[in-house]
Structures are given as structure tokens and as C-alpha cells.
Amino acid sequence: MFSKWRESFRHAFALRLGLWYVGLFIASALALSAVTYLLLGRALAAQDHDVLESMLSRYAVEYSRSGLDGLKKLIDADAGEGRHERLLVRVVNDQKELPYFTTPPAWSGFDLTPLDDPASFTNGWTSIAGADGTALEVGARHLLNGVTVQVGRSSHLRDELLRRFRDGAAEVLLLIVVIGVAGGGLLTYVGLAPVRSLETTLRSILRTGRFDARVTTRGSRDPLDELGGLVNDMLGRMQKLVGGMRGALDNVAHDLRTPLTRFRNVAESALVEGDTVAAREGLARALEESARVNATLTALMDISEAETGTMTLRFERLHLADVAAEAVALFADEAEDKSIDLTVEIDPAIELTADRARLRQVLANLIENAIKYTGRGGRVGLEAAVSAERVTATVRDTGMGIAPEDLPFVWDRLFRADASRSARGLGLGLSLVKAIVEGHGGTVGVTSTTGHGSVFTVTLPRQ
């Protein structure tokens, strides 16, 4: 049912996208045609007016030069040359007489009565509607001695040209609809290709449960292509996270199996021994192993909370030297037992904003780690440097160092290099350090030379 609904939604989306394209394409074509039609009509009307205005000017000049007789001769000459074939020409004197009048025979449908009334002219022009829907546009020019010359032209040819334009536009519009539908289908198919690739990838992940599938991208700045790239980045992180979870679970299962087995053996021995000194020692070892299991689980939960951003951090303004002194005090006895020179060189004036307990935990883990892998008579030093925006704490030791091939993995959960397998530990201390520091918005780093010690750095923002 869900698959059918999703399929219908996908097709409905594609249909809507195609219809929007076709609608916009046709609307744009209609708007362009309408504007072209309007501009063409105005241009033809202006051309007709220019012709009439030109003839009126010629007749006015001839009248002023040769009088009414000269005007009649010029009009007759124009008629002989065929210039009046589609024009109305009227000459009206001050007694409302028509010394000259000519009109094409086909114009009998026009009522010319308004031409006798000067009030019907606006700015020297008037228009008379014909029975067939055409218009007779007439221009008038008032001359000397009360003579008026009128020249008119029918809009028939102009209307015919516009009609042909409309008929041609209708045929073109039909072609535009066909092109729009085809273009809409092509646009929908090509434009939704990244969506189909995304759908195929997600279906593959849902079907196989593997996160190694990726969306096909073209490396362009297209939003859908960028979406595919973001999905690929997300899948990469998920793949890494799932792989890390699987590895962590395997390591947890392996590391917890030994203390749980010891716990069971010790508890069974205590039951067999009864109320004896051996039984009490066995129960003490069982408590020790249970504490080890609890510490492992607590560290794993702290790391998970820090990495997912759910760890509660109580920020306060504090002096780094005070927190460092508290962390060093925890391991002063252990360092003294191994004759390790444990020193702190931090300016008491260095301040930063951080969670005091978590920052002490970070420094304590690094100091404990340094003491653990530093031989008798070695040195472990804690120092700090400050800039305008950052505080960098450094823990140096002269211990066994870390092999170059192991350096990239020291921050991983439960990772323990071969050289450190014999030392007692959970393999979670550095992972917890990294998670807490990144939860504060800081960074961690390490450099090491095998046999000459290691340098761990923690950089935190001051504010």
C-alpha cells in the first residue's frame, strides 16, 4: 500500500512539474503574441495616419500657394496617379459646399454626416464606424478663407492584415502546445533524473541493508545534484558510524568476555571456599572485575553522549592551572612510585570557559596515559600556551612512544597498539578525551617518536 502511494505521489509530482512547464510555456507564448499583435496594430494605425497627414500637408501648402483652383488641380493629379484609389478626399468651403469630393465605391456603408460637424473632430481627427466592423479614419486641415480639406482612409486593409496575423498565430499556438507538451515531458524526465538516482540508491539500501551505495552525481552546482552530494556525504558518515558501532560492539564483546569470565570463576570459587580468607579475596577480585566492566560501560556511554551532542556540559569561567593541579594530584603517588618527574608549567593567569569536571577528566586521562607508558625515571610534563582565542594544553612524556602506523588510530574506541596490550587499561581513555574536547568545540592532536615519547595537545576556545 505504501509503495503504491509513493509511486503515485512520484508520478503526480512529475505530472505537476510537466503541467507547470507547459502552462508557463503557453502563457509566455500567448503574452508574447498579444504584445506583438498590439504593437503591430499600433504601427499600422500610425502608418495610416502618417500617410493621411502627409497628404493634408501637401494640400495645405498647395492651397496657400495657388488657391482653391490649384488645390483642385493637385487633387485631380493625385487621383490620376491612383493615389485616391483607397482614400476619401473632401474639400468644404465656408458655405458648407463641396467643391471637391471623391470616395471609393465600396465605402457606401459609411455615414459621412459627422464630417460636416467640426465638433466631431478631436485634434483634427475623427473615426466613423462602418457596418462591416471597419472604421473610416478622417483627418481635417482648416485652410484660409474658411476652406477645409479632409482626407480619410478605411481600416479594411489593416484589419485584414491583423486577421491574417490572428489566424497564423492560432496555428503557431497549436504548434507551441505540441512543443510545450514534448518539452515538458523531456524536462520532467531529465530534471528528475537526480531524484530517480536518489530513489534507486535508497531502495538499494533498504533492500540490502548496506550503506556503500551512492547517488550518481555530475559534480555541477545544480540544487538536485548538490542534494545528491549531501546524501552521499550522509551515507558515508552513516557507513562509518555503523562500521564503528560494529567494531565497537565486537571489541566490547571481546573485552567484556574476559572480566565477566573472571568474575564468574571468582564467584564460584568463593562459593566453594565458603567463609574463608580465600573466599573474601575472591569476592574482592570479583568486585574489582565488576568495577572494570562498569568503568568500560560508563566510558562508552560518555563517549556516545559527547559524540552525539547530548552530554551535559556545565560551562564556567576557570583557571587552567587550578584544574591541571587537581588532575596531577590524582597521579602524584603513582608517578612517585615509578620515580617519574611529573611537572606542571602553566601560567596561573590563563583563563577559559569550560566544564571543570570534564576538563579535569581530559587532563587526568592524558596524564594517566603518559605515566602508564613512561618507564621508571622518565619525565611527564604538562604545559600550556594561550592566544587571543585559543588555549592549548600539552602533555609530554619520555615513554615508549607510538608506532607511526598506529598514530591514526589512537583516538578510536577500544584501540590498543600491540606494544601496549600488556598494560592494564580499557582502550577508551583517548577516545573519551577526543569526544569531550570536540564537545567543547576544540581539537586534539598527537605526535610521537617510537622510543622517545609522545606529545598530546588539546586546543580549546577561550570563550
Q: Look up the CATH architecture of domain 312-461.
A: 2-Layer Sandwich (3.30)
Asked if the 2-179 domain carries CATH number 3.30.450, the reply is yes
Every domain of the chain and the residues it spans: 2-179, 223-306, 312-461
Task: Return per-residue pLDDT of the chain as tens, 463 residues.
Answer: 445 444 544 556 667 777 787 788 888 888 888 898 899 889 988 888 898 898 889 889 988 888 888 888 888 888 777 766 678 888 988 787 888 888 877 676 788 888 888 888 888 888 888 877 788 889 999 888 888 999 988 888 888 888 888 888 888 888 888 888 887 777 777 767 777 777 777 777 777 767 777 777 777 777 767 777 777 787 777 777 666 666 656 666 666 666 667 767 766 676 666 666 766 676 677 667 677 776 666 776 666 666 656 677 899 999 999 999 999 999 999 999 999 999 999 999 999 999 999 999 999 999 998 999 899 999 999 999 999 899 999 999 999 988 888 888 888 766 655 544 444 555 577 888 998 898 889 999 999 988 889 999 999 998 7
Three-state DSSP string of the chain: CHHHHHHHHHHHHHHHHHHHHHHHHHHHHHHHHHHHHHHHHHHHHHHHHHHHHHHHHHHHHHHHHHHHHHHHHHHHHHHHCCCCCCEEEEEECCCCCCCEEECCHHHCCCCCHHHHCHHHCECCEEEEECCCCCEEEEEEEECHHHCEEEEEEECHHHHHHHHHHHHHHHHHHHHHHHHHHHHHHHHHHHHCHHHHHHHHHHHHHHHHCCCCCCCCCCCCCCHHHHHHHHHHHHHHHHHHHHHHHHHHHHHHHHHHHHHHHHHHHHHHHHHHHCCCHHHHHHHHHHHHHHHHHHHHHHHHHHHHHHHHCCCCCCEEEEEHHHHHHHHHHCCHHHHHHCCCEEEEECCCCCEEEEEHHHHHHHHHHHHHHHHHCCCCCCEEEEEEEECCCEEEEEEEECCCCCCCCCHHHCCCCCCCCHHHCCCCCCCCHHHHHHHHHHHCCCEEEEEEECCCEEEEEEEEECC
| Residue range 223-306, CATH number | 1.10.287.130
Question: Looking at residue 209, what is its pLDDT?
Answer: 67
